[in-house]
Amino acid sequence: MTYKLICLALSISAGSVIAAPQKLDLSLEQISVSGLSSGGYMANQFHLAHSDWVTKIGIIAAGPYYCAQGSIKTALEQCVNQVLSPIDLNHLNSVANTYATEEKISPLTNLKKSKVWLFHGANDNKVKQEVSDALYEQYVELAGKENVKYVNDQAASHLFPTLSEGSDCQQSVSPYIGNCQYDAAGEMFGYLFDDFAVRVDTPQGQIVELDQQQLGGESASTLADLAYAYVPKSCAAGESCSLHISFHGCNQNSQSVGTQYAQLSGLNNWADNNRMVVLYPQTKNSTFMPLNPQGCWDWWGYTGAEYATQQGQQIQAVIRMARSLQHYSIQQ
């Protein structure tokens, strides 16, 4: 089904000649995803739900699949800044196996073909290292140790580390992008992809706005009106490009920080020379039911019991958006 996209192209280079709109040529046979904090939990859920499609993943400061077990109480007591009782990986993996048997998520054997990059800042006090350690242990069991890299020796707080963008690396403050003299985006892509081309100092592409409500349909009810996508010039010109989806953290959506996550993480710097479109879906804050005042992705069940499966509302909405990009024409 083809969806009409309502978008605003924000050109970086002023005064350029306007060419005819060019349809994107996206290769969607396999994609990569990443995420920070609640976005890391969401990236993990997205990966396991569709591991036949998602083959590369990077996660910063998150815990194992189904850690919250459908409960905000469990989420707060075990999966962020405290672990009041040990995380039972055997149980969590058993749930994943049951979901796979019931065909609610893709077969777990697909994970053996995945590559996984994980990061936990040594000075992160919002997600305990014990929580990220459990995610590493889970992926080692499901994907194989040879396919997983875990970085936990960088002195970073709870944020997305960059070479020079954002605030003090030791301060977990809005927009949760840290000047850490550490290129998390580059380290991630360098591990996940072979022969990845060099980064550019200044991205030369465009950030476009996408109508999430139109593209996501009923499944997008807990998402913001707009999402963003970064489109390199080569992709806008019609060259074949891949897709990467990056999920922001809590208090990091557009309602809270504008376009800073979509602009400053460093992902776009690597996307330019690698013909990669980066999709930045957006949550919305809510002080009513479902309660989500910090604009987190659903990793504990506020959208329903199937939140971590293929039937999860947010997972379905993002998939619809991703596939719709094949029908998008950009004004160069």
Instruction: Find the angle CA(2)-CA(280)-CA(256) to the nearest 5 degrees.
Output: 125
Q: Which of 158, 183, 248, 324 is catalytic?
A: 158
In 109-180, alpha helices (H): 129-143
Distances (CA, A) of 138 to 63, 91, 298: 9, 11, 20
Query: Is 47 designated active site?
Result: no
d(CA 225, CA 163): 31
Query: Is 298 designated active site?
Result: no
CA 281 remoteness from chain centre: 8
Distances (CA, A) of 263 to 39, 234, 290: 16, 18, 29
Q: Which of 34, 37, 234, 254 is catalytic?
A: 37
d(CA 329, CA 21): 6
Q: Which of 124, 133, 183, 272 is catalytic?
A: 124
Neighbours of 50 (CB within 10 A): 18
CB 108 within 8 A of CB 47: no
Q: Which residues are catalytic?
A: 37, 124, 158
